[in-house]
Structure 1
Amino acid sequence: MGENSKIEWCDHTFNPWIGCQKVSTGCDHCYAEAMMDHRYKKVQWGAHGERKRTSEQNWKKPVQWNAQASTSRKENGHRPRVFCASLADVFDNQVDSSWRRDLFALIRECAALDWLVLTKRPENIEKRLPPDWRDGYSNVWLGTTAEDQVRFDFRWKRLKRVPAVVRFISYEPALGPLRLPQNGLLPDWLISGGESGAGARSLRPHWVRDVIADCRRLGVAPFHKQWGSYDSNPLVVEQGMTAREARAIDAEGKGGGLVDGKLVREFPRQNRRSLELRLRSAG
């Protein structure tokens, strides 16, 4: 539940508990449900399902990563990034509030790690943050998933009200076009990606190109993770290659990940508010 991650935009994943409930079409092929409920029978998914706290041994892993953070930063050139949580939702209604308090205490303790907290429930964030959140913790990036324009418009409107050193959008699985607003507050970072696995729904390459163009024009860092399936890869869709031919050219991530022959994998820059918060907490 806590491990070195194969996800391209983080170094570790940490799950303080497991279990969740589907909230929109992006959840229809949930890999966490398929693995934890259907395959391993760890928890029952859904409104009447369970939320199971992970082991004390698992909770100690971020402390270990925190102790090794200086070495990791020298080797990788950035502060270690922890995705929380891949098998649950931190702001889920059905999570024991004491578990969430314990999680934020752990996040405060592990100040050398950047915690990437991703939710499909941004409307719950404000009322479930710790009392000392104020302008945000210096080591917490808050994100929300948006699989199409409708979910982006609804969820970003709520996330942007919450103070955080970095706010980000996970446009994954991308199930419809998504364009960024031309004015107003914008996310700092946008991750895009197609759905993977059996029965993956298709992604149209121009959706990714369009939102990356928005990011470039508006100063948002774009990160294209993968096409999800070679059926969505532009080498197949637009150039008529077979999946095998496309894989020989583009083997980045599931279904390949090149956008017009290049990897687009940028991270948000350290902003002044993040540095100020770190100095304040250190002093």
Structure 2
Amino acid sequence: MAQNSTIEWTDSTFNPWVGCTKIDRPRNAPSACDFCYAEGWSKRSGHVKWGNHPRRRTTESYWRAPSKWNAGAGEFQRRNGRRQRVFCASLADVFDNQVDPTWRSDLWRLIRECAELDWQLLTKRPQNIRKMLPDDWGQGYANVWLGTTAEDAEAYQQRGKHLLAVPAAVHFVSYEPAMGPLGPLPIAGKVPSWVILGGESGVALDKTRPTRPQWVRDAIAECLRVGVAPFLKQWGRYANNPLVVEDGMSEGDARAADPLSNGKGGGLLDGRFYREFPKTLGVSVAAA
């Protein structure tokens, strides 16, 4: 919960509340929630219990941080040549059924007021998005990116149809951890603007589920085929890196050849990095 996030695809994180419940998948399919990093954080910190327990709203002083970032948006733009991105929420789910609706209303108000920030809302509950949007959503706030997690093709087809049915300035998919092929991106003629790809990290090595290089290679090829921006965040661990899996390098040699500093397991695929972002209008809500 900081202004300077270590997450490679955002700048800052903001959690209006903390707590969540894992999402079950049919037929005991493996879930991205199985080794949730936020749940691990909650256990270490002791601030909130995970699962069917009350969510904890963060403090009023903490809620003032985005307004400060918004006030400094001009300087951020001059320094970086783009708008500041805010991931909301890394330790919760904005579209969680168990959250007090007034908290969500307060969040939408804050997002409207902080129109010079690009808010990245990532959910595992895209079926709830439409009923939890503010009344003035229209075709979407110009500064809100809506995303969902999809660990394989079944999850993408199930969740993506709900995500893409809601109008938004940017739709994105977090294919992380990649636990199976992603498959075709078009759903009812629509595609997301952006796909984040990555292997599982933050888990004991004996529990980490593998990500196959060919799954990622095929997903990036599909992105390029349909005009979607791919962002390969990391391989999660060097045991997933194609330099090891396909080229036979030792993990130590792969680390030397692909020493991605802000990611785990390296980030090269076939000799290049794929770290693209979607093209956005970059205008304020008021202007929109």
Distance in 1 separating the partners of 2:58 and 2:258: 37
User: Residues 99-155 of structure 1: CA distance to partner in whole angstroms, max 9, x if unpaired?
Assistant: 100111000010000000000000000000111111110100000000001110000
Give me the whole-angstrom Cα distance separating, in 2, the residues matched to 1:127 and 1:2: 29
Q: 2:141·2:168 contact (CA, 8 Å) conserved in 1?
A: yes
User: 2:222 aligns to what?
Assistant: 214
1:28-177 alignment runs, 5 A limit: 28-36=34-42, 38-46=43-51, 48-177=52-181
SS at match of 2:272: coil
Aligned 8 A contact 2:185 2:192 in 1? no
**Cα contact 2:185–2:223 (8 A) shared by 1:** no
The number of aligned residues is 276
What amino acid maps onto 1:29 in structure 2? F
Contact 1:2 1:61 in 2 (8 A): no
Measured in 1, the distance between the counterparts of 2:146 and 2:218 equals 24
Q: Which amino acid aligns with 1:104?
A: W
Instruction: List alignment gaps of at least 5 residues for structure 2.
Output: 25-30
Q: Which contiguous aligned blocks of 4+ residues in structure 1 show a shift greater than 3 angstroms? A: none
Cα distance, 1:35 vs structure 2: 1.0
Equivalent position of 2:264 in the other structure: 254
1:2–1:58: 8 Å Cα contact kept in structure 2? Answer: no
Matched, 1:16 2:16: yes
Q: Retained in 2: the 8 A contact 1:2–1:15?
A: no
Choose between structure 1 and 2 for higher RCO, CA contacts under 8 A separated by at least 6 residues.
2
| AA of the residue aligned to 2:8 | E
CA distance in 1, matches of 2:256, 2:129: 43
Greater share of residues in helix: 1
CA distance in 2, matches of 1:34, 1:175: 20
- Please give the secondary structure, in 2, of the residue aligned with 1:2: coil
Question: How big is each residue's C-alpha offset from its partner over 1:185-222, in whole Å with a ceiling of 9 and x where there is no partner?
Answer: 10011110100121211100001110100111110111
Structure 2 distance, partners of 1:171, 1:107, is 25
2:28 is aligned to none
Q: Are the aligned partners of 2:152 and 2:182 in contact in 1 as well (CA < 8 Å)?
A: yes
| Structure 1: tracts of 5 or more residues without a match | none
Counterpart of 1:245 (choices 253, 258, 273) is 253
Q: Give the secondary structure class of the aligned counterpart of 2:3.
A: strand
Give the secondary structure class of the aligned counterpart of 1:251.
Answer: coil
Q: Residue deviations 1:3-38, cap 9 Å, x none?
A: 3111111110111111001004110000000111x2
Q: Which moved more, 1:120-129 or 1:55-64?
A: 55-64
Give, in angstroms, the shift of residue 281 of structure 1: 2.0
Whole-angstrom distance in 1 between the partners of 2:130 and 2:33: 23
| Pairwise CA distance, 1:42 | 1.2
Q: State whether residues 147 and 172 of structure 1, in contact with CA within 8 Å, keep that contact through their aligned partners in structure 2.
A: yes
Closer, same or farther: CA 181–40 of 1 in aligned 2, 3 Å: closer
Aligned-residue RMSD, C-alpha: 1.4
Identity %: 59
